[in-house]
């Protein structure tokens, strides 16, 4: 993925039901999502046309709808679903997704899961 260009969506703050314990499933909790999208942005850089790039606003909207309506036990499963949304865009060749769950551990600011996924060739 190093030869591709990157689009970063940083610090997307959302709320969802996430966790294994009964008390975690009663109310939505904060999660912070960071995404790096890998794509070839050469055509967009030359044309200055939205049709030639990854519509990251559309991806963000789909992620918001997905996360806020989700109810996963594991942060890993939430991250996997977000990666699937990114890879659902034909221009996206790969992505890294980090999901932070603030306050998940006592004495720690946050716990985060980071995954990397590539489009299957």
Give the residue numbers annotated as catalytic, written as ranges. Answer: 101
> Hey, which residues does 31 pair with through a beta bridge?
14
Token pair in block for residue 9:
């969506």
Q: Report d(CA 17, CA 30) in Å as an integer.
A: 9
Burial 34-60, CB ≥16 within 10 A → b, else e = bbbbbbebeebeeeeeeeebbebeebe
Local structure of 43: helix, strand or coil: helix
Local structure of 75: helix, strand or coil: helix
DSSP strands (E only) in 29-109? 29-39, 71-72, 94-102
């Amino acid at each position: 993925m190093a030869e591709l260009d990157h689009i970063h969506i940083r610090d997307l703050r959302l709320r969802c039901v996430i966790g294994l314990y009964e008390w975690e499933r009663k109310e939505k909790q904060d999660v912070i999502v960071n995404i790096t999208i890998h794509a070839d942005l050469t055509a967009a850089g030359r044309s200055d046309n939205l049709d030639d790039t990854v519509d990251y606003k559309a991806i963000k909207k789909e992620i918001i709808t997905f996360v806020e309506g989700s109810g996963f036990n594991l942060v890993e499963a939430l991250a996997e679903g977000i990666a699937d949304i990114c890879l659902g865009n034909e221009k996206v060749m790969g992505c890294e997704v980090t999901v932070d769950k603030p306050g998940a551990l006592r004495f720690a600011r946050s716990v985060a899961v980071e995954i990397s996924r590539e489009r299957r060739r």
